[in-house]
Amino acid sequence: MKKFTILIPIYNDWESLIKLLNNIGENIKNLKKVQFDCIVVNDCSTIINPKIKIPPQINSIKIMHMNKNKGHARCFASGIKYLSESSDFDYLILMDGDGEDRPEEIKLLVSKILLEPNKSVVAKRVKRSEGLLFQTLYKIHKYLTFLATGKIINFGNYSCLTMSDLKILSTRASLWSSYSGSFKYYIKNYNEVNSIRGMRYFGPSQMSLFKLLIHSFSIIAVFKYRLFFTSLILLASLHYLGISIKFNFLFFQTLTVLFNILVFIVSFRESGKDLEESKLDIASIENLTH
């Protein structure tokens, strides 16, 4: 029997979590020879968590209460670091707790990884459910990251990690700032399944324009040295091209320099020390059983 642990960060959105757990239960009930446990990372919520009834299809639930609010990405990083020292499961599924990562697709992740057990699987976004404005901004984000990194990063947190890949990521400082960027940089061999971004169960989306910008720059920051050397080549090319055709490319050169500076500033969000010490931020762990 293969054992899967599902890692879910939560900040106050307990109503969504309860619905999500029930929907997960419904979608895994026909899967054979697999066992599911959940770890919920409570990001220092200001609302006390209600009593949670464990769906019969889920073996157990742990709630990891953090003593500081660190944000979504760092909750995933803390959970990955904590679980990297465990040996009582085979695969880790990462998913958001608000319904945007659809429980219906857990079966796709599980089926794919059981076919090739040594390859992690990411949920590739093929369709989103947000409004036109956000979808346009998200496309700009994808093009920006592609131009800056040379990589197509069309997935978020929703994924299923092998233990070997989990251990690799758990030692990388960039994980503290960006999961998808770190995954793309360090994990070379993986599979994909198609995924539709779902609608939030309750309330509006928490992704603002500012957060989307930070998200984009955090991904690019993982590739900062590659960006730096590419930019040097671009700056030199523009310089000699300008001399050749007698055109001043100073505006584009300035933009390139400023872009690199912004990326390097955002890269300060990465912290191997904070990642290593993240277990010290766990206030308590609440064990829920049937």
Three-state DSSP string of the chain: CEEEEEEEEECCCHHHHHHHHHHHHHHHCCCCCEEEEEEEEECCCCCCCCCCCCCCCCCEEEEEEECCCCCHHHHHHHHHHHHCCCCCCCEEEECCCCCCCCHHHHHHHHHHHHHCCCCEEEEEEEECCCCHHHHHHHHHHHHHHHHHHCCCCCEEEEEEEEHHHHHHHCCCHHHHCCHHHHHHHHCCCEEEEEEECCCCCCCCCCCCHHHHHHHHHHHHHHCHHHHHHHHHHHHHHHHHHHHHHCCCCHHHHHHHHHHHHHHHHHHHHCCHHHHHCHHHHEEEEEEECC
CB–CB of 190/153 below 8 Å? no
Mean pLDDT of 12-33: 94
Comparing 11 with 205, which gets the higher pLDDT? 11
Comparing 290 with 268, which gets the higher pLDDT? 268
Per-residue confidence (pLDDT) for residue 207, from 0 to 100: 61
Mean pLDDT of 106-120: 96
Mean pLDDT of 9-27: 95
232 pLDDT band (50/70/90 cuts)? very high
- How far apart, in whole angstroms, are the C-alpha atoms of residue 270 and residue 13? 26
- How far apart, in whole angstroms, are the C-alpha atoms of residue 103 and residue 89? 20
Per-residue confidence (pLDDT) for residue 132, from 0 to 100: 67
Per-residue confidence (pLDDT) for residue 130, from 0 to 100: 58
| pLDDT at position 126 over 80 | no
| pLDDT at position 13 over 80 | yes
Per-residue confidence (pLDDT) for residue 86, from 0 to 100: 81
Per-residue confidence (pLDDT) for residue 161, from 0 to 100: 98
- How far apart, in whole angstroms, are the C-alpha atoms of residue 272 and residue 250? 37
Mean pLDDT of 59-68: 95
Angle at Cα 194 formed by Cα 192 and Cα 200, nearest 5°?
A: 120
142-156, 186-200, 226-240, range with the lowest pLDDT: 142-156
Q: For 127-137, write each residue's pLDDT tens digit.
A: 655 566 666 76
- How far apart, in whole angstroms, are the C-alpha atoms of residue 161 and residue 191? 10
Mean pLDDT of 110-128: 91
The residue type of 108 is L
| pLDDT at position 120 over 60 | yes
pLDDT > 90: what percent of the chain? 67
Comparing 197 with 7, which gets the higher pLDDT? 7
Per-residue confidence (pLDDT) for residue 194, from 0 to 100: 93
pLDDT > 70: what percent of the chain? 94
- Mean pLDDT (the chain, rounded): 90
Mean pLDDT of 181-192: 96
90-94, 140-144, 279-283, range with the lowest pLDDT: 140-144
Per-residue confidence (pLDDT) for residue 179, from 0 to 100: 96
| pLDDT at position 143 over 80 | no
55-59, 143-147, 191-195, 255-259, range with the lowest pLDDT: 143-147
| pLDDT at position 258 over 60 | yes
Ordered structural domains, the chain, with CATH: 2-131+153-204+272-288 (3.90.550.10)
| pLDDT at position 239 over 70 | yes
